[in-house]
């Protein structure tokens, strides 16, 4: 249903990197010819959701915060059964993520080992190692797909069983949100906590509504609009830094993995890590969304990207996007 | 490997101009692979390197170059090492300790400052230095008038950036809080690690001791101060998660002993321990030889080893391999593991000093209080 809806409407989105230090939001909305009210989603900021003064100033046009985080608090206060069902679902998803992470550690270790062998003067010839590397990456991809499917199934189960959109507490909020959206020309989706943001957008059924409006989204906001959300950090203080599939995003932008703040979070000079990342998610394109970067997507058309916007390649480089 | 100084030593005679040139062309201490050349120029009867590396003679004699006033000493230093040192000059009966005149790099501590030699591969972590884009936390102050010590105690409270009282926080109590702030850049470290989402936003109570040698080694008054006075006050005044898992005690040296002792006396109160270079001296038989200050420490550690219980849930320990306490720290790790606690132990090629403790904070705090690094993309 949602997919059909999206396909019939031209989705117009500009994706950006972090906006705090060098905002280009104003220019992004200009790129979409938006002059009027902008609906603002800052649910990723969680309890700081309402502290949007700086953001509203950067918009360069009037902004109305949809306050999805506060609305979800209200929903769960008014509907304890839904709250409990949601908690059970989230606990299950956390466990699923942990089990997936444990399996992923081994699958990624195998892929890295094959990769090292393929690039070393080992006794194994390239002829032997290269197919093994491909198989090892295929196993990681299979694990990723399996995890995404399990996550989606559990979320689907929650929505089928509880039909949140039909429950009064949610329906009331959805009506108010729609009334605000009716006054707006476009939507701005800020970054922050990607799960907090995604869950609230799903709870209020925003994926279909958003497809009708031009959107500027950055960081986690950009991630939730894609088909698949990848959590990533190459040098965390704990663990090996294996990127993880969180699950499916809202799917408004196909064939793209959003990597906000990539310069800071990824070892972009490590060709083997970059190559493995790119091969793991291919044919989706890995787009690095750093400060001042932008990528303009209109459904059915080629992307347009800012001059400094880059993507990861399967050869292990991070190169400027021309046109994909 | 041929060292830079070998060219100078090969000359005969070595002139003052040769020495001038050598000093001009290099910075000191001169790190070449795993070898470090220390240099001194001046009149003396003897020059010695006084370092704080357990396992090596504490005073290493320099060599005078021919008939000049130039002295040198070469130290083998493994990769990643960081060493604090001074020069000892002997002129007749007069012995003087000075900092390395050729080395601007200093580490400060409550006793002054030492010169620092950074071995090959050591680099000061970027997260220990102020960053322009990082939102700073704030420091608040509390006074506790009625304490088990019978006097007033001041506590400095760190509140993370974007603190709000509608949210609940974890609590970390830090012994020798003033020294951690001054010599281990603790506020900068917290600001950076919290900003980068590597560590959860924490409220940190930084205590300031009276006589730490008396209060820290398993002193009932001190443990009661933490568990029965400071903790309730913090929970009353700040929005804290009221669960042992969300509470930590931290300290270095005797401060680590105080942390372990308080958790031992009040099991199930503080779920996380961060113990740096703990002075966990003990005896298997006979007397210890560390001096009277260690008497109550040894008494406590011996009792703890006899009956450790399970003071906390998670324990992070670190120790420098160049510390005299490395044996004691290595010894306590299996004991802690046997209690069923989740134990993580880290070593570094460093000594018993504040910058060693500073450099371990990222791995320690992110393990005990992990932040939402993987989930937040701003």
pLDDT digits (tens, 9 = 90+) for B249-288: 999 999 999 999 999 999 999 999 999 999 999 999 999 9
Confidence of residue B315 (pLDDT cuts 50, 70, 90): very high
pLDDT digits (tens, 9 = 90+) for B36-58: 999 999 999 999 999 989 989 98
Give chain B's mean pLDDT. 96
B366, B372, B377 member nearest A191 (Cβ): B377
Contacts of residue B189 in chain A, CB cutoff 8 Å? none
* Cβ-proximal residues to B43 (8 Å cutoff; 6+ apart), any chain: B69, B91
A223 touches chain B (CB under 8 A): yes
What is the architecture, at CATH level 2, of domain A2-320? 3-Layer(aba) Sandwich (3.40)
The structural domains of chain B, ordered by start, are 4-118 (2.60.40.10), 126-368 (3.40.50.1820)
Q: Test A220 with B378 for CB contact under 8 angstroms.
A: yes
List B residues 146-165 in contact with A (Cβ-Cβ < 8 A): 162, 164
Which residue in chain A has the smallest CA separation from B197? A236
Low-confidence residues of chain A, pLDDT below 70?
1-9, 122-124, 322-324
Contacts of residue B198 in chain A, CB cutoff 8 Å? 236-237
Which residue in chain B has the smallest CA separation from A220? B377
pTM comes to: 0.93
Contacts of residue A194 in chain B, CB cutoff 8 Å? 375-377
- Based on the number of CB atoms within 10 Å of its own CB, is B300 exposed (0-12), middle (13-18) or buried (19 or more)? buried
**Mutate which: B160, B377, B378, vs A, most A CBs within 10 A:** B377
- Judge whether residue B108 has pLDDT over 90: yes
* CA–CA dist A289, B378 (Å, integer): 11
Q: Test A238 with B370 for CB contact under 8 angstroms.
A: yes
A106 touches chain B (CB under 8 A): no
Q: Test A192 with B376 for CB contact under 8 angstroms.
A: yes
What local confidence, expressed as pLDDT, does residue B91 receive? 96
Rg (CA), chain B: 23
**Mutate which: A69, A199, A237, A242, vs B, most B CBs within 10 A:** A237
* Cβ-proximal residues to A211 (8 Å cutoff; 6+ apart), any chain: A5, A6, A9, A11, A252
A194 touches chain B (CB under 8 A): yes
Q: What DSSP letter does each residue of B73-139 carry, written as one string?
A: EEEE--TT-EEEEEEEEEETTEEEEE--TT---EEEETTEEEEEEE-TT----GGGS--TTPPP-EE
* CA–CA dist B18, B295 (Å, integer): 54
């Amino acid at each position: 249903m949602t997919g059909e809806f999206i396909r019939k409407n031209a989705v117009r989105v500009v994706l950006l990197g972090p906006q705090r230090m060098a905002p280009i939001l104003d220019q992004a909305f200009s790129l979409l010819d938006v002059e009027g009210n902008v609906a603002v989603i800052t649910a990723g900021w969680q309890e700081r959701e309402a502290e949007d003064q700086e953001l509203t100033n950067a918009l360069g046009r009037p902004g109305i915060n949809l306050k999805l985080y506060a609305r979800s608090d209200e929903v769960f206060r008014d509907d304890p059964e839904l709250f409990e069902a949601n908690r059970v679902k989230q606990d299950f998803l956390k466990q699923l993520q942990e089990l997936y992470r444990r399996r992923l550690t081994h699958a990624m270790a195998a892929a890295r080992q094959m990769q090292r062998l393929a690039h070393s003067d080992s006794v194994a010839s390239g002829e032997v190692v290269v197919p093994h590397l491909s198989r090892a990456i295929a196993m990681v991809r299979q694990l990723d797909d399996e995890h995404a499917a399990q996550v989606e199934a559990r979320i689907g189960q929650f929505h089928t069983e509880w039909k949140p959109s039909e429950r009064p507490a949610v329906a009331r909020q959805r009506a108010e949100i729609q009334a605000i959206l009716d006054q707006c020309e476009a939507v701005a989706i800020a970054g922050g906590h990607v799960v907090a943001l995604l869950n609230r957008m799903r709870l209020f059924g925003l994926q279909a509504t958003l497809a009708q409006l031009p959107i500027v989204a950055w960081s986690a906001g950009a991630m939730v609009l894609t088909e698949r959300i990848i959590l990533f950090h190459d040098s965390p203080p704990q663990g090996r830094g294996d990127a993880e599939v969180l699950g499916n995003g809202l799917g408004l932008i196909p064939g793209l993995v959003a990597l906000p703040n990539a310069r800071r979070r990824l070892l972009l000079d490590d060709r083997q890590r970059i190559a493995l990342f790119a091969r793991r998610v291919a044919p989706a394109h890995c787009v690095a969304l750093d400060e001042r970067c932008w990528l303009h997507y209109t459904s059915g058309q080629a992307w347009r990207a800012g001059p400094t916007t880059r993507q990861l390649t399967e050869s292990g480089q991070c190169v400027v996007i021309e046109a994909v | 490997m041929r060292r830079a100084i070998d060219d100078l030593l090969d000359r005969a005679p070595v002139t003052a101009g040769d020495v001038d040139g050598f000093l001009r062309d290099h910075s000191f201490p001169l790190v070449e692979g795993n070898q470090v050349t220390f240099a001194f120029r001046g009149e003396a009867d003897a020059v010695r390197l006084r370092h704080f590396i357990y396992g090596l003679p504490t005073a290493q004699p320099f060599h005078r170059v021919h008939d000049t006033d130039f002295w040198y000493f070469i130290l083998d230093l493994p990769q990643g090492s960081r060493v604090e040192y001074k020069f000892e000059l002997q002129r007749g009966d007069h012995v003087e300790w000075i900092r390395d005149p050729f080395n601007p790099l200093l580490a400060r501590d409550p006793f002054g400052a030492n010169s620092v030699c950074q071995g090959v591969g050591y680099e000061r972590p970027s997260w220990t230095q102020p960053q322009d884009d990082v939102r700073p936390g704030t420091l608040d102050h509390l006074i506790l008038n009625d304490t088990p010590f019978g006097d007033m105690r001041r506590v400095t409270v760190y509140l993370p950036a974007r603190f709000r009282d509608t949210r609940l926080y974890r609590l970390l109590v830090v012994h020798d809080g003033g020294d951690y702030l001054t010599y281990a850049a603790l506020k900068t470290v917290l600001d950076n690690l919290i900003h980068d989402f590597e560590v959860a936003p924490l409220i940190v109570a930084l205590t300031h001791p009276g006589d730490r040698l008396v209060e820290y080694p398993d002193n009932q008054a001190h443990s009661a101060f933490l568990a029965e006075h400071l903790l309730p006050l913090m929970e009353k005044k700040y929005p804290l998660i009221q669960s042992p898992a969300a509470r930590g005690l931290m300290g270095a040296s005797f401060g680590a002993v105080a942390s372990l002792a308080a958790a031992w006396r009040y099991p199930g109160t503080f779920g996380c321990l961060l113990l740096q270079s703990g002075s966990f001296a003990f005896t298997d038989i006979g007397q210890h030889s560390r001096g009277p200050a260690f008497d109550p420490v040894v008494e406590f550690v011996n009792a703890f080893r006899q009956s450790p219980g399970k003071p906390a849930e998670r324990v992070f320990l670190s120790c420098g391999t160049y510390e005299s306490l490395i044996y004691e720290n290595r010894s306590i790790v299996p004991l802690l593991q046997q209690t069923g606690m989740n134990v993580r132990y880290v070593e570094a090629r460093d000594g018993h000093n504040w910058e060693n403790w500073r450099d371990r904070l990222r791995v320690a705090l992110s393990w005990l209080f992990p932040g939402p690094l993987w989930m937040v993309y701003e």
